[in-house]
Amino acid sequence: MPNGLFLDIVDPWINWGWLSTHIPYVLAAVQEHITLTLIAVLAGFAISLPLGVLAHRWSSLRFPILTVFGIFYTIPSIALFALLIPYTGLSGTTAEIPLIGYNVLILVRNVLVGLDSVPPDVLDAADGMGYRPFVRLVRIELPLALPAIFAGLRVATVSTIGIVTITAVIGLGGLGQLILRGLIESFHSPLVVATVLSIVLALFADLLLAGAQRFAIPWARQA
Amino acid sequence: MGETGVNILESVGRWLTDPAHWQGPDGIPTRLGEHLHLSIESVSIGILIALPVGIVLGHYGRFGNLAINISNVGRAVPSFGILVIAFQVFGLGDLPIILALTALAIPPMVTNSYVALREVDPDVKDAARGMGYRELPQLLRVELPLAVPLIMAGVRTSAVQVVATATLAALIAGGGLGRYIVDGLARNDYPRLLAGALLVAALALATELLLAGLQRILVPRGIRLLKAPVASRASTFKTA
């Protein structure tokens, strides 16, 4: 280890002294991380729910919607950030547009899977009971589509938490800021703390959504 | 957009058509070669590790929860963090990049191949047994062909994500097309930045199309129409 020779110190993976004096700094990063993630997932969901319903009702919309967002989804986030910089600069908008677009693809796809999985008999029964189309959608079809929608929300949230770290290259990043600092200063503590916290955040969000799913879909608990 | 938009497009076009950017160690062919080399090596190692694990676990149906849980934790790992940690441990060079990309490639392939084998109809397996298939021929000749669509969907997801994430290699002093984006940002060189972004986007889309084609070829003709579209059953993921 040349570092050890020249500087006569070995940087530990976590310097607890550094961590204990930098707790507010770390918490601020966690907070920015959560905010960036929440905006991306909630806005993505708000866009994809109506889009998914429209594409389910009019199947000619299905292919164009899935293709456009599929192309967007395939493009790496760092390339989209770069393409947006001339227009929206180094800003939250530049970070959120790609993140929201990715979530729209994941969620539209799962809304469609969920709505497609509603058995035709159930729809017949609902029609027979006198449900109008909109009421049938809200009270019968969407609740039955919830398992697929929740599965999409979990994938979207966990991947967003990972990708948010990359927004550090455009000056945001939440925990990604600490990773970038660890890289630039060759200082292990912020790097390890941020990576571990990002994993914990993702697993915690996944668990939280799994809990919400159990609560929202009580009839599926036995299965 | 307006006038600035046109100017930007023009300068990107000029950058991309400048012969100087098509030769030498920082030329587009070299960077593309580095990008492909890193991606292909990582995906290949990932396939060698992930597919046997997923297929064997799915065939026997044991330790399934363990496999899925490990791969869920694997998905929670931020690609940027794991790349920088690998760089701090192994230093400069391709090794840390390939290790990190391989680690990211494995989870979707394990999950999808496990689910693919689990989803094989038990009646089909019974029928194969009744026809006198032994364990290994049954796995190779009955279960695997039925599982190919989902296994390939996993490989495709991983490969596209590895190509996308290889862009970040430039952040830890690696090569690849990400170099133009990272250098463009550092030098405030917009034409370089945007040309890099376009090249990276084009490569990711080309990978997706190529693998979609490969998937069509590899799926046995007899089972193409049997099941619901793979897209709705495969688990997707995005790391970059």
Alpha carbons within 13 A on the beta-carbon side of B1: 4
- Out of A106, A155, A166, closest to residue B168 by CB: A166
Contact A83 B8 (CB under 8 A): no
Please tell me the predicted confidence (pLDDT) of residue A19.
87
Q: Is the pLDDT of residue A144 over 60?
A: yes
Q: Is the pLDDT of residue B178 over 90?
A: yes
Q: Is the pLDDT of residue B21 over 50?
A: yes
Please tell me the predicted confidence (pLDDT) of residue B233.
66
Please tell me the predicted confidence (pLDDT) of residue A1.
46
For residue A85, what are its two tokens?
């910089």
- Domain span holding position B214: 27-233
Tell me if chain B has a CB within 8 Å of the CB of A97: no
A 43-72 residues with CB < 8 A to B: 71
Q: CA–CA separation, B124 vs A52, rounded Å?
A: 35
Please tell me the predicted confidence (pLDDT) of residue B215.
85
Q: Is the pLDDT of residue B1 over 70?
A: no
**Distance from B12 to chain A by nearest Cα, in Å?**
11
Q: Does the residue B72 lie in any domain?
A: yes
Q: pLDDT, tens digit, for every residue of B103-134?
A: 999 999 999 999 999 988 889 999 999 999 99
Please tell me the predicted confidence (pLDDT) of residue B71.
82
Contact B204 A82 (CB under 8 A): no
Q: Does the residue B228 lie in any domain?
A: yes
The answer to whether A188 and A12 have CB atoms below 8 angstroms apart is yes
Q: Is the pLDDT of residue A211 over 70?
A: yes
With a pLDDT cut of 70, the percent of chain A lying above it is 95
Q: Is the pLDDT of residue A141 over 80?
A: yes
Contact A191 B160 (CB under 8 A): no
For residue A138, what are its two tokens?
């809200």
> Could you tell me the pLDDT band of residue A9, with boundaries at 50, 70 and 90?
low
Contacts of A140 (CB under 8 A, 6+ apart): A118, A122, A123, A126, A131
How deeply is B111 buried, as exposed, middle or buried, from its count of CB atoms within 10 A (0-12, 13-18, 19+)?
buried
Rounded mean pLDDT, B149-158: 92
Cβ burial B7-39 (10 Å sphere, 16+ → b, else e)? ebeebbeebeeeeebeeeeeebebbeebbbebb
The answer to whether A163 and A99 have CB atoms below 8 angstroms apart is yes
Of the candidates B104, B115, B51, B39, the one whose C-alpha atom is nearest the C-alpha of residue B75 is B104
Please tell me the predicted confidence (pLDDT) of residue B73.
86
Phi, psi of B234 (to 5 degrees): -75, 145
Please tell me the predicted confidence (pLDDT) of residue A4.
45
Tell me if chain B has a CB within 8 Å of the CB of A171: no
Please tell me the predicted confidence (pLDDT) of residue A138.
94
Contact B78 A78 (CB under 8 A): no
Which residue in chain A is spatially nearest to B71 when comparing CA positions?
A203
Domain CATH for B152: 1.10.3720.10
Q: Is the pLDDT of residue B230 over 90?
A: no
**Distance from B136 to chain A by nearest Cα, in Å?**
32
- A90 DSSP 8-state letter: S
Q: Is the pLDDT of residue B34 over 90?
A: yes
Please tell me the total count of domains within chain B.
1
The second-level CATH assignment, the architecture, of A26-214 is Orthogonal Bundle (1.10)
ipTM here = 0.88
Which of B15, B38, B84 would best serve as a mutation to test chain A binding (most A beta carbons within 10 A)? B84
Q: What is the mean pLDDT of chain A?
A: 91
Pairs from B183-186 (Cβ < 8 Å, separation ≥ 24): B184/A82, B185/A82, B185/A169, B185/A170
